Amino acid sequence: MIIWYFYIMPTPFKLIPACVLLCLAFVANAAIPVDTIIKRPVPISKTMSYQVSDFSVYFKEGIASIRKDSMDKGVKLLSTGFGYVLSKGDIQRVLSYQLLELIDLIDITARGKLSPAEVVPMHAFLKGVFADSSGNIVKTVLPYINKAPSTTFVKRLKLLLQFDTPDKINSDLNKLLIEKPDLLGANLLKAEILFGQDKFAETVGYCTKVISLSPQYAHAYHLRAKSYEGLKLHSKALVDYDQTIKLFPAHFEAFYERADIYMDEDKYRQAINGYLQTLAIVNNYKWCHYNLARAYKDVNMTDSAMFYINLHLNTYKEDADGFNIKGEIFYAMDDYPAAIAQHNRAIAYNPNRSDFYEERGDAYFYAKDITNAMVDFKKAFSMDKNNKYLMDRIGNCYHSNGDEVKAISWYQAALKINPNYKYAYVDMDISLNKLGRYKEAIAALEKAVAIDSTYAIANGNMGWDYYCLGNYDACIKHSYKALNYQEDATYAMFNIALATLAKGDFEKARELYTQFVKTCKEKNYPINDGAITDLNDLIKKKIMVKEATYIIENILRKTD
């Protein structure tokens, strides 16, 4: 879309002639009525020798006239052309400072509002833009400006000439804003400069001023939205992105950036809509395909995720991030060998990313290749020494290898980095339980529950620790808590029934086993072998042998 030649900030002056000649391609599709910014198109001359609908001729002949030193004629033709463009669409709502100011200064010049002394530097400027092939427009035009009277027009022209060198114009811009605080162009230029310096709070103030002067100026809302995003004020940014899109429905950058916020907030379906809307306007814009793959993966739509990551990799054939996400998609599909293959490619293209080794380590771990998982987690850890997740995963590897003492040391290291990392407490509980250190295991889980009282696994595992201590009532209590927060926690169900049987209440236990098996069948919850294993342990300990055998044979083994 040609509009973005005007929108992108900044545009080199030497490219402006080409932009002017191309801009009309957008106008045919513009549908929103214009009522702000440039309010008065220059009337069309009735003596024109060509069709007035062929707007591009105004620009072509205007530029040609300037190149032939027919300045007055060239200025009027350009002004007429811009007037028609701005009267037919909403293009001006997204113009950045440079083009908006250029059009306005041309319009003022064409209307004969300047003194002869002001016309001289303006003509020199236009020749520099449209006729000077040297590219050094500042060196050519600045002497004319310095000789001209210090009027508001000349000050604006000087700022436009050097708008991309903030250090040189900042003092002059501040003085002009004091003299003319309601000058739209000056406020906009200040906002763009501040944004370029990452001074987002100050940018917001100037954007707000611009919006008060021109309430339908989409570019100001967009710039303020990006500033709010820079300040991490996402709710305010979303409001301004919405307004930007309302004022300019073809604003694909606003769709894209709004979708990025939704991704950051884990609102994946909204993000998906935003990226799809972006692609409906501009095909293959930035990393839309990549981000769609991420979003679809996170809503478990792996087929769609794979479709979009393949589109992304068709364009960016050596993108390490793309192969890494493709590996994550295979991982989500439980295809660990395929995931490992994609992570191998990611690492081949960029061997210096700790997260790539982390992702491949996870795939190795669940492929039950603990040796390679350990290698990858330790490699990633060597690159990111403060990563609590990696410490926890290394602990998981030691646990899988049966080395509970080393596992616990890594969980403790993770908790030293972040004492509120609840997952490490749960993992530590498992290792402590294996070592028969049940009270310490319970103490670890109490810390996890203090961090998150709704953490189902922590409550459920605490129930099992209490069972191991012979405190069956506490086991039942905490297992019910786990079920309250996670209704498919089948291990908690059968721990309740098991503890009830261990207490000697066979009738109640039989009722519970029957009820839980029925629930699992109705809701398609898996019943793992642990339920039978735990009953067999009771039998080995000579506890409720007859009753445990009955439940195994008549309830659990008849689940089919």
DSSP for 154-179 reads: HHHHHHHHTTT-HHHHHHHHHHHHHH
Q: What is the dihedral of CA 162, 218, 194, 291, to 10 degrees?
A: -110
What pLDDT score does 132 carry?
A: 75
Q: What per-residue confidence (pLDDT) applies to 10?
A: 54
Please state the pTM of the whole predicted model: 0.81
CB-CB neighbours of 249 under 10 Å: 16
Q: Do 356 and 382 form a contact (C-beta atoms < 8 A)? A: no
For the segment 61-115, what is each residue's pLDDT rounded down to a tens digit? 999 999 999 999 999 999 998 888 887 667 888 989 999 999 999 999 999 989 9
User: What mean pLDDT value characterizes the chain?
Assistant: 90
| Count of all residues that appear for the chain in the document | 560
Per-residue pLDDT of the chain (560 residues; tens, 9 = 90+): 444 434 444 555 555 554 554 454 444 444 333 333 333 333 333 333 334 446 788 888 999 999 999 999 999 999 998 888 887 667 888 989 999 999 999 999 999 989 999 999 999 999 988 887 666 888 889 999 999 999 999 999 999 999 888 999 999 999 999 999 999 999 999 999 999 999 999 999 999 999 999 999 999 999 999 999 999 999 999 999 999 999 999 999 999 999 999 999 999 999 999 999 999 999 889 999 999 999 999 999 999 999 999 999 999 999 999 999 999 999 999 999 999 999 999 999 999 999 999 999 999 999 999 999 999 999 999 999 999 999 999 999 999 999 999 999 999 999 999 999 999 999 999 999 999 999 999 999 999 999 999 999 999 999 999 999 999 999 999 999 999 999 999 999 999 999 999 999 999 999 999 999 999 999 999 988 899 999 999 999 999 999 999 999 999 986 54
Sign of torsion over alpha carbons 239, 240, 241, 247: positive
pLDDT, position 130: 85
According to DSSP, residue 488 is labeled: T
What pLDDT does residue 8 have? 45
- For 17, 79, 166, 378, the CA distances from 158, given in Å and listed in that order, are 20, 20, 12, 59
Return the pLDDT at 3: 44
DSSP for 528-554 reads: -THHHHHHHHHHHTTSSHHHHHHHHHH
pLDDT digits (tens, 9 = 90+) for 148-175: 999 999 999 999 999 888 999 999 999 9
CA distances from 550 to 75, 80, 183, 504 (A): 99, 95, 88, 14
Give the per-residue pLDDT at 6.
Answer: 43
- Tokens 């000649």 correspond to 21
DSSP state of 556: G
The amino acid sitting at 335 is D
Query: Which burial class, exposed, middle or buried, applies to 232 when counting CB atoms under 10 A from its CB (0-12, 13-18, 19+)?
Result: exposed
Q: Residues near 475 by Cβ (< 8 Å), separated by ≥ 6?
A: 463, 464, 466, 467, 495, 496, 499
- Contact 89/31 with Cβ under 8 angstroms? yes
Determine the Cα–Cα distance for residues 311 and 331; give it in Å rounded to an integer: 19
Instruction: For residue 94, give the DSSP letter.
Output: G
DSSP 3-state of 126: helix
Q: What CA dihedral angle connects 477, 480, 481 and 486, to 10 degrees?
A: 160
Task: Name the CATH topology of 150-249.
Answer: 1.25.40
Angle among Cα 203, 161, 176 to the nearest 5 degrees reads 55
Looking at residue 489, the DSSP 8-state letter turns out to be: -
Neighbouring residues of 296: CB distance < 8 A, sequence distance ≥ 6: 268, 272, 302, 304, 305, 308
Contacts for 156 with CB less than 8 Å, ≥ 6 apart: 101, 105, 176, 183, 185, 186
| Type of residue found at 43 | P
Three-class SS state of 316? coil
Parse the chain into domains and list their residue ranges: 55-106, 117-148, 150-249, 483-559
Residue type for position 415:
L
Tell me which residue has tokens 């380590």.
Answer: 361
- Report whether 258 contacts 275 (CB < 8 A): no
Residues contacting 70, CB < 8 A, separation 6+: none
The maximal CA–CA distance of the chain, rounded, in angstroms, is 112
pLDDT of 29 = 43
The rounded distance, in Å, linking the Cα atoms of 114 and 132 is 23
Radius of gyration of the chain (CA): 34
Question: Is the CB of residue 124 less than 8 Å from the CB of residue 75?
Answer: no
